[in-house]
A and B are shown apart, each in its own frame.
Chain A
Amino acid sequence: EAQVTQNPRYLITVTGKKLTVTCSQNMNHEYMSWYRQDPGLGLRQIYYSMNVEVTDKGDVPEGYKVSRKEKRNFPLILESPSPNQTSLYFCASRSTSGIHNEQFFGPGTRLTVL
């Protein structure tokens, strides 16, 4: 089954404790992206990657890091989480050669930073 998977699905942590949220896709997509979703603010793009070793900032990159060492994986790293990073996070991927150019989203990771 074609899908985007994220782990963990739920995470409660404390301020300053480094964490990584993993994202993996099995569709051989070139493009991958991370979003956060907050009430009243909608989905905001954090980082995206056009291909292996190619990443770029979205609209809200502060406090986050990403890496793209393999095509299928795009982990999101919070080196020193703060309470304002409490949010619902989505990973997405898409082909760069499709007709619809649609993104396929993962199930989400709900992060709480105390």
Chain B
Amino acid sequence: EDQVTQSPEALRLQEGESSSLNCSYTVSGLRGLFWYRQDPGKGPEFLFTLYSAGEEKEKERLKATLTKKESFLHITAPKPEDSATYLCAVQARGSGTYKYIFGTGTRLKVLA
């Protein structure tokens, strides 16, 4: 069964304290792995797409990496405005190739 697990569920950081969020996945064949940011009361906003192991993407203080079993979202020197829930999702190959499976997210709080 295709599955996505995110850890930790919640994370509190001091401003400037770097850390990583984890997304472990089990899929029959990975078509793509996605990271989204979700602010309270809003829809998810796209951050990154990763397609193959070894791939890395960067945007400002965020860097996403991918292995065959997991993805990491590294946050370098976070600021309070980085506080949000970060969602990981996978799209699997095979039948239902346009199905998406989301993890339950990591709630990040960055303290000033």
Kindly report which residue of chain B lies nearest to residue A104, judged by CB atoms.
B46
Q: Mark A58-95, 1 if CB is under 8 A from B, else 0.
A: 11000000000000000000000000000000101000
Say yes or no for B54: interface residue by CB 8 A criterion.
no
Known: A48-B99, A50-B98. Is A42-B87 also a contact (CB below 8 A)? yes
Known: A41-B104, A101-B32. Is A108-B42 also a contact (CB below 8 A)? yes
A residues within 8 A CB of B45?
A: 105
| Most chain B CB inside 10 Å of its own CB: which residue of A45, A56, A92, A106 | A45
Q: Is the CB of A56 within 8 A of B104?
A: no
| Most chain A CB inside 10 Å of its own CB: which residue of B44, B45, B103 | B44
Chain B, interface size category, equals: 20 to 34
Known: A101-B49, A102-B49, A106-B43. Is A48-B98 also a contact (CB below 8 A)? yes
A residues within 8 A CB of B96?
A: 56
Dominant secondary structure at the B interface: strand
Say yes or no for B30: interface residue by CB 8 A criterion.
no
Residues of B whose CB lies within 8 Å of any CB of A are: 32, 34, 36, 41-46, 49, 87, 89, 91, 96, 98-105
Residues of A whose CB lies within 8 Å of any CB of B are: 4, 31, 33, 35, 40-45, 48, 50, 56, 58-59, 90, 92, 100-108
Q: Is the CB of A107 within 8 A of B42?
A: yes
A90 → B minimal CB distance (Å): 5
A residues within 8 A CB of B100?
A: 33, 45, 103
